[in-house]
Amino acid sequence: MTIDRLDIRLLRLPLVRYFETSFARSYDRMFVLVTVHGEGAQGWGEAVAEHDPYYSSETTETVWHVVTEFLAPLVLGRDFAHPRDLWPAMARIRGHNMAKAVVEMAAWDLHAKQNGQPLWQTLGGTRRPIASGVSIGIQDSLEELLERVTIEREAGYQRIKIKIKPGWDIEAVERLRARFGAIPLMVDANAAYTLDEAAHLAVLDRFDLMMIEQPLDYDDVMDHARLQRQLRTAVCLDESIVSPRVAAMAIDAGACRIINIKPGRVGGHAESIRVHDICAGAGVPVWHGGMLESGIGRAHNLHLSTLPNFRLPGDVAASKRYYAEDLIDPAIDVQPDGTVLLPEHGSGIGVHIVEDRVSRATLRHLEVRPS
Ligand code: OSB
Ligand code: MG
């Protein structure tokens, strides 16, 4: 596979409804799309970096900078036998996993299309519907939270995750258990607590949660291990798991019993497969995280979720929860049983990208060719 041109776009899409985490409330989503061209085919990737460096240190602008200045020159015009060869080719650049991932994932799509294969098959997965959960942000009131959960339960989603932070945690979970009973329920703190609050977090043990996601700092492993020893509830790591090495370290240290995989956070599909395999070997289940992706990133996530150790429902919900009009048509939708079908429009990620919608959402576009 040779990539002879790369297109990079900065887009903005308004969210159907605001999304609030422990770190910020957003009303729209800015993101970067990358297209790689080779032998008349195109591969697409979507970077998960956000406008602000609050979930991770990367932003849409650092992705733009690193892709155009450093990654494009490393991959353009070079012959790659397989998309897994892109990660080592980019190794000289430290960090910037989200920038590396968008290029690498676009190359997987291109390679699969050149071979006339669906992406799940190229990744080594098994075609099956993917179990979906939903991630429900912090609301203006607990009444509104109960209303949101009612709506998503009716849509069929297989588990509910709510965002928590100090002041929006125990009472919220208590109210959900009182109203909805023994539903599959979990919480995500996005690093809002410290180890000093272990006793407070241990109150959550009463509620039989599936897991508590990333309670402590974004770059921590050892405090999570100390916390896990004080909790009955499983800790799941998201932000902290930035590589297969850190995943192995976290499992060894007993810092978590479950891992959330987001390919953007670990550097693409090849690194995600390594994290997946390490977890499988250690008996640690994984699930696919979400970053409010458009249909392009969402399709990648669904294909990756076909690997066997994705044993828990992922944040791979229907497009319409996020965007009035997705960039792909048909949009990704949930089935009444809470599963999502793999997009199967042709090979690769299997989606039809509506160019006109992409152009309308595009704020900036650059074509990069080999120098
Ligand atoms: O921590 O999983 C997270 C969204 C943005 C940034 C971080 C996270 C999230 C979500 C939303 O929880 C998941 C989704 O529905 O895409
Ligand atoms: Mg999370």
State which of 293, 301, 315, 323 you would mutate to test the pocket of ligand 1, scoring each by most atoms of that ligand within 8 A of its C-beta: 315
Compute the distance between CA of residue 200 and CA of residue 339 in angstroms, rounded to an integer.
34
Q: Is the pLDDT of residue 84 over 90?
A: yes
Beta bridge partners of 59: 50
* Residue recorded with tokens 């995500």: 188
162 touches ligand 1 (CB under 6 Å): no
239 touches ligand 1 (CB under 6 Å): no
Q: Give the pLDDT of residue 300.
A: 98
Region 306-327: what's the mean pLDDT?
98
Chain centre to alpha carbon of residue 61: 19
Surface-to-core class of residue 298, CB atoms within 10 Å of its CB (0-12 exposed, 13-18 middle, 19+ buried): buried
**Confidence band for 10, pLDDT divided at 50, 70 and 90:** very high
**Confidence band for 343, pLDDT divided at 50, 70 and 90:** very high
Q: Give the pLDDT of residue 95.
A: 98
Compute the distance between CA of residue 238 and CA of residue 229 in angstroms, rounded to an integer.
18
Say if residues 12 and 26 touch (Cβ distance below 8 Å).
Answer: no
Say if residues 269 and 304 touch (Cβ distance below 8 Å).
Answer: yes
Compute the distance between CA of residue 371 and CA of residue 369 in angstroms, rounded to an integer.
6
Sheet containing strand 134-136, strands side by side: 134-136, 160-163, 185-188, 212-213, 235-237, 258-261, 286-288
* % of the chain exceeding 70 in pLDDT: 100
User: Whose alpha carbon is nearest atom 8 of ligand 1?
Assistant: 291
Q: Is the pLDDT of residue 160 over 90?
A: yes
Region 116-121: what's the mean pLDDT?
98
pLDDT digits 0-9 by tens, 284-306: 999 999 999 999 999 999 999 99
Which atom belonging to ligand 1 lies closest to the Cα atom of 260? 2
Ligand 1 center from residue 292 Cα (angstroms): 6
Q: Give the pLDDT of residue 299.
A: 98
Q: Is the pLDDT of residue 130 over 90?
A: yes
Compute the distance between CA of residue 183 and CA of residue 202 in angstroms, rounded to an integer.
20
Region 177-190: what's the mean pLDDT?
98
State which of 16, 59, 190, 292 you would mutate to test the pocket of ligand 1, scoring each by most atoms of that ligand within 8 A of its C-beta: 292
291 touches ligand 1 (CB under 6 Å): yes
Q: What is the mean pLDDT of the chain?
A: 98
Ligand 1 center from residue 215 Cα (angstroms): 14
Q: Give the pLDDT of residue 371.
A: 85
Which of 166, 65, 125 has the alpha carbon at shortest distance from 308? 125
Beta bridge partners of 237: 259
